[in-house]
Structure formats: structure tokens, C-alpha cells
Amino acid sequence: MNLKKVIGIYNVIKDRIPSTYPRPKLAFYEDEESMLINNKMEEIEDDDNVYACVNPNTLTINLPLNMSFKYYKEDGTEMPTRNIKLISMSEETIANTLFHEIGHLYAGNRYGYKSKQYHDEEYCDKFAARWVKKLIEEQLLEE
């Protein structure tokens, strides 16, 4: 699998963010399940997809190389599961995922790893959206 796209986006992010932000390493796993098991994460609901997770002890962003998405019709009938490779996602989606996880680490450094901000998904979504928008405006990322 060619990870040059992901590594390239990550290098753009590392070069652009302030020096006070954490600079985590990247780790890749075959799929979501192996990522969650290897990181000893708690069980998640079947309907939730995990794009990535962060380990504050090792400053590592963990990413699954393959993701499975379940789709449902309006009447609740489950449609066939769709598998998507990380490298087939858009630059914007990959950058958003990486920034979201950096947001967790940033909040952990600033407020503490047991703080509300560290665990706040909405905070990290806003953090990621703000940075992705900046990189697109600066033409460092494609939409």
C-alpha cells in the first residue's frame, strides 16, 4: 500500500503548525478492529466508525489502513458493508482526521489528559476544521 499521500499530508501539517503544538508519530494498522485491540481501547458501538485514535503516552496517531462503513436504508434495512482504503480518501478528509487527533494532544498538553477538553470530540472537530480551512486557503491542501 502506498502511504506517500498520507505521509505527504502529515509533513505539510507538521511544517505548518506552531512549534508549541505536539508532533506525534504515525502508526498504521490493517483495520479498525486491530487498531482498537492494539491500543486497548474500550468497545465502541457497532454503528460508530473510528477513523483514528491517539495515544498520549507515546504521542502516536494510530490510523487504520482499511475502514468498513455500514450503510442503512431509510427503513433501517442494512445495506452491504463498504470497505474504503485510507489512501483513497481525499486530502481534506485525511488532514481533518490528523488534525482532529492533534487537537486531542493539544488539549491534553494545555488542559491535562484527564480534562474535559481532551475528551471533547466537538472541540477537536472545530480545531481540525479551523486548521484544514487554513491549509486550503494557503493552497497547501486540495479540497
> What does the block give as the cell for 99?
488534525
Q: Are strands 60-69 and 25-31 parallel, antiparallel or unpaired?
A: parallel
User: What's the pLDDT at 35?
Assistant: 85
User: What's the pLDDT at 48?
Assistant: 61
pTM score, two decimals? 0.84
CB atoms within 10 A of CB 5: 15
Task: Evaluate whether 20 touches 53 at the Cβ level (below 8 Å).
Answer: no
> What does the block give as the cell for 5?
499521500
- Encode pLDDT of 87-127 as tens digits: 888 999 999 999 999 999 999 999 999 999 999 999 999 99
> What does the block give as the cell for 36?
482498537
Backbone CA torsion sign across 85, 87, 91, 95: positive
